Structure 1
Amino acid sequence: MQEKEFRNDEAVLDIHDKPNLPELFGLSIQHMFAMFGSTVLVPILVGLNPGIALFSSGVGTLLYILVTKAKIPAYMGSSFTFIVPMMALMKTTGYAGIAQGTIAVGTVYLIVALIISRVGSDWLDTILPPIVVGPIVMVIGLSLAGTAAKDATMRQISTTSSVYDIKFFLIALVTLLATIGFNMYLKGFASLIPILLGLIVGYVIALALGVVDLSGVQNAHWLALPKFQIPFLTYNLKFNLGAVLSMAPLALVTMTEHTGHIMVLNTLTKRNFFKDPGLHRTLSGDGLASMVAGFIGGPPVTSYGENIGVMAVTKVHSVYVLAGAAVSAIIFSFVGKLSALIQSIPGPVIGGISFLLFGTIAANGLRILVDNQIDFNKKRNLVISAAILVIGIGNATLQIGSLQFSGLAVATVLGVTLNLILPDKAASEK
């Protein structure tokens, strides 16, 4: 006799409940808007095509749902963790380097998934405790502070020079304050999209001040195939070990984020996804999604807390809704004028959003340390966090011949190493 499937009675729609078509459309669009701002902001910051990022996030989400046997409601969006090395690679190698790094990130996920399927996942807690993860997450946000400030204040007058523009800074401040206001004072669905609403306000202000260039929107077609970056078809792929090693170690950081999201979903849905379908399947789905993104021109992807927040508020946990959001993203990626409109967002608007976004990332790293009551009177904790913060934020790159490792990658590897080799107490401590 087949065992009856568990159902969470507290959910409005549980994981395998099917909404009717009008409900599916509305709930799916809501999820798409929740992830939209962050998913397209990553490629804008790096210089990638936002349409491809939308497409790869949709395809990656569908692939994730398939690999996890449609048992986990999650959305895969562009990851902020890899912005620093991707920016550096874009300047030196173009997308070819980013592609190799993105595929390498997915490969690391698959390797870890294979290990976990054989030996379990307890060892991850050993190499990535809060004292390592917290400072690394802080570095991810704070190392981008200079980029946010430059976008918010500097107007480019040529390919090599830029000047301070008070008008830019005012646009950035209005965008920032509007986003904060939306986040604090709006209710319901509108409260879930403060970044998107802030972008709209900043864009309108920038339009009024003559900062926006709409020529690309005017020339774009309504329907347009995203300019996919396919190895050996659109660019020559030459193996770049530096690109791989600049991004691959950071997969360890996004894995902790991924694991944390699964823990939250366990609580929301009253299930244990670590056992069924298993952490090895959730990591495999995430890794394969990033690999697909790398082969078509998108950034690495990761599970999105924004969409988990939507599920927490609405109590709608249906995988059909998440799949609908993925399909919506794919459809939107073929609207040429939308992609051109997104690419026309000026620097000060992006800078204003980034002030809040990057700061929030850093604050989340601090929250990890606070929530886990890390004792900084212990020399061990002090030196690990100090080394990670200064090397990562200062971007102390490691250059060996033609190989270059970002400060964030160096800080991650060093933090893991120090955590493994340092004793619990210094010799001078009682």
Structure 2
Amino acid sequence: MKENYRNPDVVLDIHDKPKGIKWLGLSLQHLFTMFGATVLVPILVGINPGIALFSSGLGTIVYLIITKGKIPAYLGSSFAFIAAMQMLMKDDGYPAVALGAITTGIVYLIVSAIVKRAGSAWLDKLLPSIVVGPVVMVIGLGLAGNAASQAMYAVGANGEQVYSVKYIAVALITMSLTIFFNMYLKGFMGLIPILLGIVCGYFIALAVGIVDVEPIRQAAWFALPDFQAPFVTYTPKFYLTAIVTMAPIAFVTMTEHIGHLMVLNKLTKRDFFKEPGLDKTLKGDGLAQIVAGLVGGPPVTSYGENIGVLAITRVHSVFVIGGAAALAMGLSFVGKLTAIIQSIPNPVIAGISFILFGVIASSGLKILIDNKIDFNLKRNLLIASVILVVGIGGLTFQVGAVAVSGMALATLFGIILNLILPEKAKSELE
């Protein structure tokens, strides 16, 4: 592909720069598209959403710089790490989550260096569809119990869980509205059903009196995000549990990364595996995750939602993506907005989660279907079975203070079984 190639089928190609209000409008569209999912992750984990907005914008800019401004991709908070981050926040807090995010970035950098030297064929052998599909299903289904609890239980006067019909009603109405928006809205509104669902659910929660508005009144309009930076907010510490829990999940998000590149190749009529190269894209993603970890944000990953915006609008400009990143960073300093996001009650989040977690699980099933995985073969059946039960069941392997559990352990088992099991069992060879 020539350096000065321009895709004739687009409104704005990768290096075309819009002007003025048009630029602002196009960037706002990407901001709104990623907003709901990016702030939902920190809400579920217990991280300040202002930090997540800032780290997603900063991570995107880092990615654009490393990939030489050649790939129009927005990076937002990754859902793949939610369960691991929840566990780490509960046990060790921000420092462990930050170390985990930095660890995943380092894994990306190591793989990037290997890809640059040896190519990427080994990744396909390590993570075939029979491993990736069930692991992605675990990401969604493993969080289903959390969503159900958020929908059912309010917090009583003494901190106990109290079954609440009101909570269930708000969760189910939020879910129903989000499904309606997803199915029946068109154009730009059809791109932001999650955000619309959260907004409508929030107003319903306000109407029934389950939103605490006092922190919103007290919040300043301008406020620094609650950055959890090493050497400033806390003293860095080595958490082996964070490393062994988060590192295996990085291999799962790499498959998502590669899948998004494939879609972008078709969309932009380019080959990003060759230029700037898979090693550069992995390096950009890895450095973005490290930067996110250093400011206290969750790991980031490329967003399929924003790729959908590229496809529908036929605007592929990296300047538009960069503008959205700058807007996200700016919004992170609006204290009122952060307070509003943090005031979203559990049943609203649960209503959205019923859909989002289910969609993630269904995406894993789609991987298996699209790749025509044959479950008549014992090998495939065994690999998928072990991954699903270990991951969803929350099996934990603990030695001293080090624990590997849930999806991380399921991913490791899946990789090992894929490498050691023969193509066919002896009974299938007869």
Q: TM-score range by the shorter chain?
A: over 0.9
- Tell me the equivalent position of 1:113: 112
Counting aligned pairs with the same residue, the percent is 62
- Tell me how far apart the structure 2 counterparts of residues 243 and 406 of structure 1 sit (CA, whole Å): 11
How far apart are the structure 2 equivalents of 1:225 and 1:379?
A: 55
Counterpart residue number, 2:290: 291
Question: 159-168 or 245-254: which moved more?
Answer: 159-168
Deviation per residue, 1:20-73 (Å, 9 max, x gap): 111110000000000000000000000000000000000000010000000000
Tell me the distance in 2 between the aligned counterparts of 1:175 and 1:234: 37
Provide the residue aligned with 2:62 in structure 1.
63
User: Paired residue for 2:43?
Assistant: 44
- Contiguous gaps of at least 5 residues in structure 1: none
In structure 2, the CA distance between the partners of 1:14 and 1:123, relative to structure 1 (3 Å rule), is: same
- 1:237, CA displacement in angstroms? 1.9
1:396-411 matches, within 5 Å, as: 396-411=395-410
Aligned to 2:240: 241
Report the 3-state secondary structure (helix = DSSP H, G, I; strand = E; otherwise coil) of the residue aligned with 1:224.
coil
* Aligned match of 2:369: 370
For 1:428, the equivalent position in structure 2 comes to: 427
* Structural mapping, 1:133-212, within 5 Å: 133-157=132-156, 160-212=159-211
Report the residue type matching 1:421 in the other structure: I
CA contact (8 A) 1:60 1:292 kept: yes
Cα deviations across residues 312-362 of structure 1 (Å, max 9, x unaligned)? Answer: 111110000000000010110000000000000000000000000000000
Shift in alpha-carbon separation, 1:4–1:358, aligned structure 2, 3 A: closer
**Between 154-163 and 45-54, the greater mean CA deviation after superposition:** 154-163
**CA deviation vs aligned residue, 1:211-267 (integer Å, no higher than 9, x gap):** 000111100000000010011221122211111111011000000000000000000
Q: For residues 159 and 81 of structure 1, do their structure 2 counterparts lie closer, same or farther at Cα, with a shift above 3 Å needed? A: farther
Secondary structure, aligned partner of 1:81: helix
Corresponding residue for residue 31 of structure 1: 30
Counterpart CA distance in 1 for 2:11 and 2:83 is 40
Q: What does residue 231 of structure 1 align with?
A: 230
Contact (CA 8 Å) 1:17, 1:318: kept in 2 or not?
Answer: yes
Segment drifting more, 337-346 vs 225-234: 225-234
Q: Which residue of 2 aligns with 1:319?
A: 318
Q: Secondary structure at the match of 1:82?
A: helix
Tell me the equivalent position of 2:21.
22
Q: Paired residue for 1:328?
A: 327
CA distance, structure 2, for counterparts of residue 374 and residue 112 of structure 1: 26
1:251/1:159 CA distance change after superposition, 3 Å: farther
Partner of 1:359: 358
Please list the CA deviations of residues 173-203 of structure 1 after superposition, one character each: whole Å capped at 9, or x if unmatched.
Answer: 0000000000000010000000000001100
- Using the alignment, how far apart are the partners of 1:175 and 1:243 within structure 2? 34
Paired AA for residue 241 in structure 2: G
Letter in 1 for 2:44: L
Matched, 1:415 2:409: no
Aligned twin of 1:213: 212
Tell me how many residue pairs correspond in the alignment.
428
Q: By how many angstroms is 1:289 displaced? A: 0.5
Once residues 22 and 146 of structure 2 are traced to their aligned partners in structure 1, the CA distance between those partners, rounded to angstroms, is 41
TM-score, L = length of structure 2: 0.99
| Distance in 2 between residues matched to 1:71 and 1:193, nearest whole Å | 26
User: Are 1:84 and 1:406, in contact at CA under 8 Å, matched by a contact in 2?
Assistant: no
**Cα distance between partner residues in 2 of 1:311 and 1:249:** 31
Distance 2:305 2:93 in 1: 30
Alignment partner, residue 72 of structure 2: 73
| SS of the residue 2:395 aligns to | coil
CA distance in 2, matches of 1:415, 1:133: 9
- 2: distance between equivalents of 1:418 and 1:256? 18
The residue type equivalent to 1:253 in the other structure is V
C-alpha distance in 2 between matches for 1:285 and 1:114: 12
What is the identity, as a one-letter code, of the residue corresponding to 1:426?
A: A
Q: 1:89 to 1:4 in 2, by over 3 A?
A: closer
User: Which ranges in structure 2 are unaligned for 5 or more consecutive residues?
Assistant: none
What is the distance in 1 between the residues matched to 2:219 and 2:421?
57
Give the corresponding residue for 1:393.
Answer: 392
1:172, 1:281 → 2: CA distance?
A: 42
> Residue 106 of structure 1: CA displacement?
0.3
Q: Distance in 1 between matches of 2:40 and 2:58?
A: 18
- Which residue number corresponds to residue 343 of structure 1? 342
What is the distance in 2 between the residues matched to 1:73 and 1:316? 10
CA distance in 2 between counterparts of 1:148 and 1:406 reads 19
Q: Distance in 1 between matches of 2:21 and 2:231?
A: 43
Aligned to 2:403, what secondary structure does the other structure show?
Answer: strand
Q: Match of 1:193, as an amino acid?
A: I
> In 2 relative to 1, CA 329–133 (structure 1 residues): closer, same or farther, beyond 3 Å?
same
**For residues 367-411 of structure 1, what are the alpha-carbon distances to aligned partners after superposition, in whole Å with 9 as ceiling and x for unaligned?**
000000100000000000000000000010111111011211010
What is the CA distance between 1:158 and its match in structure 2? 5.2
Tell me how far apart the structure 2 counterparts of residues 156 and 386 of structure 1 sit (CA, whole Å): 36
AA partner of residue 312 (structure 1): A
* 1:273 paired to 2:241: no
1:94-117 Cα offsets, whole Å, 9 max, x none, are 101101111000000000000101
2:142 is matched by which residue type in structure 1? S
